[in-house]
A and B are shown apart, each in its own frame.
Chain A
Amino acid sequence: MANENQIVGDTFKVGYRFQRYWDTSMAAAFFCCELGAGLFLLSQYFDFALGMLVGLLFAGVGKPYFHLAHMGVPSRAWRAMLRPDRSWISRGLIGIMFFVGAGVAYLLEFQFGFLTGIFGEATGGFFYQVALVISFAAGVLVMAYQGFAMAHSSSFALWNTGLMPISSIAYAVTAGLASILVLGWGALAPETSKMLVNFTLVMLLVDLCVVMSLLHGAFHGTTGGRQSVDLLLKGVYATPFIGLVIAVGIALPALVLWLAGSSYAAVLLAAVSILAGFFTYRVLVFKAALYEPIISFKPRTANI
């Protein structure tokens, strides 16, 4: 029964316990949010309306849907905004509202001249600028806040690192790139697409570095962190992690884009595998997080 590395489930043994409050639907919410913000911001930059629309749908519909699905008492969801002074969840929620609100306004003006149509050229133009700034700023926040929320948890070495928000942004951008490449194929200028392919290649490298640094940090952080890394690299989650997150999510698209970045089929394949890898990553960082054994007095007293 004495097992140093015991994961103890719901038993009354001292040992490591799985994080089990943030589940797959929470992962889906994170995924939608980050993908949506990344796609929107890139589309905004490249004046690509369809991308903006899809990005807003992910962040404004997908994310709330999955988040509510996860929430214990969804009818009280609005209460989540009450403590922006201290809670990243509140900040993020407010950020999303601003992001979606400003993003929609921006898109409507961009596509239909909506703001100038109502407010006239000058005022409408001003609002357009405001919407641009707010949607951009809120978009960045939305990309990053979940990373901040996780980094804030001192429970899990895997999460409790400044790399968490960076990984959120990195993945958000990568996912955004993958999506805009697919959605914008043909619509965007070929050289833009080419540039985006290269950018994606760079981001995949960044993602790989960030993920590896995360694991490295966790491994050397706490014993629980080491166990989490073991779970991802050697344990029950090794197959999805190495297979989906690293091979399918990073290596495969990098190879495909590098060798055949000019073919739509290749880009489509790369994008699908990037998103699959990203989603798996989101799920696995939840699943592999372990609470440390609450206490151990073994070394102190021989006879208790």
Chain B
Amino acid sequence: MTNPSPTANSIKSGRWVRSTCKMCLHSCSNMIHVTDDGIINKIEGDPTNPSNNGKLCPKGNSAILRHYDPRRFKEPLKRTNPEKGPGIDPKWEPISWDEAFEITAREIKKSLDEDPRKILPSLEDFQKMHIWFWPLAIGCHNFYQSGGTMCGGAYHPMNGYIHSAFGCANDAKYCNYWINNGTGDGFSSHLHAAAQSNWVAKARIDRGMRVVSVEPRLSIGSAKADEWVPIRPATDRHFALGMSHVLVNEGLCDFDFLRKDSNAPYLVGPDGYFVRDTEKQIYVWDSKDNCAKLWNDPTLENDNLALEGNYTVNGVECRPAFQVYKDILAECSPEEMEKITTVPAETTRRIAREFSEAAKIGQTIKIEDGRTVPLRPAAYNYYRGAQGRKLGAQTNQAFKLVNMLIGNIDTPGGHMGVTIDDGQVDNNHVEMGECGQMLGTPHQLGHMPEFAYPTNEYHLASHFPNGVNAPHLNLLVHENREYWGVEFTPDVIVNCHSNPVWSIQGPREKWVKFLKDMRFIVCVDVVPNEMTDFADVILPSSDVLETWNCTMIEPPHTEGQCFRQPATDPIYNTKSEEEIFYELSERLGCLEAYNSVINMILGFEQKPELQLDLDKKYTDREIARRKGLLWNGKDIDWYMEHGHSVTERRLDKWYRPWEGMRLNFYIEDMLKERDGLKAKMEAMKTPYINDWPFDDFQPLPTARLDTLHTLPEEYNLYAITFKDIQLNFGESLSNPWIRDIVFRDPVHTGLLINTATAAKMGFEAGDVVKVESPYGHLYGRLQTTEGMHPDAIGVSNALSRTKSENTYVAMSGGHFNDMLPYDMENTDAASGQPETTTKVKLTKLDDWPDFLKQGGSIYDFVDELETKKGKGGQH
């Protein structure tokens, strides 16, 4: 009974195309099957890419349905209903591309000619930095997209300071003790989820790597961990400080590393700055000769560098940076920290000891490039959940320091810097800084604009010398323009591959008003979302299966370009983002500027033959071709055949690329940035100088509480949010296959609350509640679980999509981000990082609010699944 013609999709007659996934911002290599009839019917991972090893996550598997989504934008559209808002029919009218460009360029130009600052760009395709930086071509530094909002604000600058890299990850290849703090890395999110869970599963099972997960929620990572350590939300820095207290006070550190490879021995004066001689050289203390010497004194031996003690040098009282930290840590005993984190002191102590023991301090390993380097197979990993704090910079640094104390930075088995797009093979990301220190590079995405008061950027970018952009401040400024002294009014939004009205924090009502205040909004997108509800013109973008690209986007253990090529011609009247932005640039008269921006951003400047001619427009194919050439000199045919040029990271760039330099244990630059900013504010008589939170800048982390902990007591629960491997933010919920699996998983079908907490507060599973923070609220249904910290309530991103034109996307009871603040009290002055957790109170409701009674909500869908009717019978 064999079938003559195959019915299984992957073996039907057709061809395979090697390409790259983009169902999240990362870039797993895939193979796309196209039938002889031109139908894309199967996508598999490409086993030749050592990153994802032929694996794809559920999102990667779902790309086909994005491609064939009947709700895709199929042609340029013009709004005919002037009224805008969630769920209001824009009454789209199809128009020609020419008309669409005509209108868009005309409307942008109207404002651009007046003042480039009137344009708010929101461009968020992580795989296409050259689109991201388009605003530079029109001389605009505004920023309305959400990148950095929740995740990278403090994280990227701190990775820049410590590793001179964009991201960070643990070295799964050798690590044996993996602390997982507020991240899905290796299990569900963060870097290349499919790839990293493959690497981490190998480490866990094949090598027996121990995983300890510190999280308020029994996440996937926590469930797979050998130990789940529940922690009160927004207190992770205090846990790390408690661990550091133990490491430091029990002498469990890698002191050799601290002496030789970090600036921990550098002497710090009472003003926090290093103690220097007249030549600006920094002093250290030689404990053998019992005197101060300059850091580069040839008579110094590493072993004699004092890490502890109080000294006087040239009349200045000073301490080694390590001692400064030790003094801070004196007040951070695990017992003290327990009061904040709820993590039992003995647990913290035990983990600190296990961590240090697993680090095998003193051991070395000979790696394939012939070097013998320290082996430190223990590492502390963290991300958005743990570090998205008001005091984000300090929080990130606290985690980094746990790693640094055991000497595992960029070391086999340790905590690694992960570069984003290296441009070309030969580039190194590390440079020597001052006095033997590695140069801290907090501006991984380019420098912030020069400080100005009144501000030139609506989101105050220039006020954050270290930061990544903080788009939530657009609302802060918009609401109180006089206070901030802005002299311009943005009225045009150029939005591409971004859903800011979903992804930025602050109440939706206010954002809706903000958007309605705009004169013109253009959206370049594939499918409708909350943002396109506000568009005046839609420029429909071709999708990932129809276009060309070349990207390297923070692959954890690998490097090289992932190549995208069309599996099919565009099936609708759509264009690539490149074509769209070139066309707009030409019509706006900034084509030359745009080409220079691309030459700079993509690094084409490095090779004259790859430089774009300034007066030409290029296709996505040509940009991709040049990126491939830039990386390894291979032309597009090679990439079309091979699909990628990914190899494991070269050892010289991966392990201790800073050899011979000292890492920033103590970040003196923080003080320089603080004082520089203060001086500028003083000079420009910035009226809010006294209210600016300069205290956030610290060279070492402190135990200061984040602002949210001081909210009134009636807000008695911490609300947290999370992504998971099925979800790309909330965006993938428009995909039937994702919807199929997400809402069958109990973690995504209700507001997660600890069973005992619910009982204590008089709630039951299934109760419909209003969840309120001081800033906003949402509605939902309680789901009790043993897998939540008693002080926390968890809201999956799956429960966050609000009413939009995309009727396939089931509506939730509001949005988590509505409950988050958007003020400076909750924004880190040292990085721009906003607070991503809040405190809430619950009120039980008798019934759903009216807007959820009309059916079509997630809860209706879940009810349907839970009481699934059989064929003909009712169950």
Contact = CB atoms under 8 A, between A and B. Distances in A.
A122 interface: no
Interface in B744-785: 744-746, 749, 783-785
Interface in A255-304: 286-287, 303-304
B741 A1 contact: no
A1 B865 contact: no
Interface stretch (B179-187, B252-260, B650-658, B867-875): B867-875
Nearest to B872: A23
- Decide if the interface of chain A is mainly helix, strand, loop or mixed: loop
Contacts of B745: 11-12
A23 B871 contact: yes
B744 A11 contact: yes
Interface in B783-825: 783-787
A23 B875 CA distance: 10
Contacts of A13: 744, 746
A11 B742 CA distance: 10
Interface in A1-49: 1-2, 8-13, 18-25
- Decide if the interface of chain B is mainly helix, strand, loop or mixed: loop
A11 B865 contact: yes
Given A1-B787, A287-B875, A18 B866 contact: no
Nearest to A69: B872
A12 B741 CA distance: 8
Contact of A12 (B225, B226, B744, B870): B744
A70 interface: yes
Given A1-B785, A12-B744, A287 B865 contact: no
A24 B784 contact: no
B783 A287 contact: no
A23 B868 CA distance: 13
Contact of B746 (A1, A70, A304): A1
A2 B875 CA distance: 22
A9 B865 contact: yes
Nearest to A10: B868
Nearest to A302: B226
Contacts of B873: 20, 22-24, 286-287
B744 A20 contact: no
B866 A11 contact: yes
A25 B224 CA distance: 46
Among B741, B746, B865, B875, the most chain A Cβ lie within 10 Å of the Cβ of B875
B259 to A, nearest CB: 38
A303 B746 contact: no
Interface string B845-875: 0000000000000000000011111111101
B229 to A, nearest CB: 13
Given A20-B870, A20-B871, A23-B870, A10 B783 contact: no
A287 B745 CA distance: 25
Nearest to B865: A10
Nearest to B784: A1
A304 to B, nearest CB: 8
B765 to A, nearest CB: 8
Q: Which 10 A-B pairs have the closest CB atoms?
A: A20-B870, A23-B872, A10-B868, A23-B873, A9-B866, A12-B744, A18-B875, A9-B868, A1-B785, A11-B744
14 contacts: A1-B785, A1-B787, A10-B744, A11-B744, A11-B745, A12-B741, A12-B746, A18-B870, A20-B875, A21-B870, A21-B871, A23-B870, A24-B872, A24-B873
Interface of A: 1-2, 8-13, 18-25, 70, 286-287, 303-304
Given A1-B784, A11-B749, A13-B746, 13 more contacts: A1-B783, A1-B785, A9-B865, A10-B865, A10-B866, A11-B746, A12-B745, A18-B870, A21-B870, A21-B871, A25-B872, A287-B873, A304-B224
